[in-house]
Structure 1
Amino acid sequence: MKQPPNLSSLQNDEIVRTFEKLCIEQYDAMEREEQGRVNRLFWQIYGLEVELKSRPGDQRGILMQLFGHPNMQVRLTAARANLAVDYIAARRELEEIVNSQWQPQAMDAGITLENLDTGFYRPT
């Protein structure tokens, strides 16, 4: 098995490119109904987000450059990663995903918004 990279050694732009690549792979795995792969990719993507959060000043905001991306999974994941950083911009991106009606990401974005509105989910 290939050893994962030491995330702390990656530059921010490398993390953004890796984040984008993994989200696209996750989208493809979802389309092929490969749930195990979807789950494994989730944890890799989450690791990138945690690494950015741990950097001075919380660097997750660099993922906002992925807002408007042609791949809905990239957009959805970047928006959720930024809810604690720029709530208004991230919420706007989630609302646009809902309005796109691109499934299943639109439903996922809608559930995220509902959980935010009810206080069930509080971004950190």
Structure 2
Amino acid sequence: MKQKDLAALSNAEIVARFARLCIEQSDAMEREEQTRVNRLVGQIRDLALELKSRPGDQRHILKTLFGHHNMQVRLSAAEATLPIDYAAARREIQAISDSRWYPQAGDAGMTLYLLDTSMSKLR
């Protein structure tokens, strides 16, 4: 979807689309459809960037997805909110890592490792 089209969506519509695309990404990961996974990653990123561009940086609304039944939704929402609420996002990422729900638990563990080593500037 083009940036212009994303601008026409409400915050609630973006959150719903974000969750739907993350679920599609999770399904594509299970089917080992890497090309589709990569495409969805870009679309999910674009939604987060649209929220960031809105007055007051609206990415905070993605925190409503913390605790979602789908681990990929939770992980993507937490990663997108790291720059605006580091503590809450890190807790969510830690919970995903601790869940042992793979592959998201592995991705969450790697994110924590990077935060603790090379990416401490996000704190």
Q: Which TM-score applies when normalising by structure 1? A: 0.93
Matches within 5 A, 1:58-73: 58-73=57-72
In structure 1, the residue matched to 2:105 is: 106
Number of the residue aligned with 1:88: 87
1:54 equivalent in alignment to 2:53? yes
Segments of 5+ residues of structure 1 without an aligned counterpart are none
Percentage of matched positions with identical amino acids: 62
Q: Mark the runs of 5 or more structure 2 residues left unpaired by the alignment.
A: none
Question: What letter matches 1:120 in structure 2?
Answer: M
13-22 vs 113-122, greater mean Cα deviation: 113-122
Structure-2 residue corresponding to 1:19: 18
Q: Which amino acid aligns with 2:106?
A: M
Structure 1 CA distance for aligned equivalents of residues 122 and 34 of structure 2: 25
Q: 1:82 and 1:91 mapped to 2: Cα distance?
A: 9
Question: Which 4+ stretches in 1 moved above 2 angstroms?
Answer: 119-124
- The CA distance in 1 between the partners of 2:71 and 2:120, in whole Å, is 21
Partner of 1:7: 6
TM-score of the superposed pair, with normalisation by structure 2? 0.94
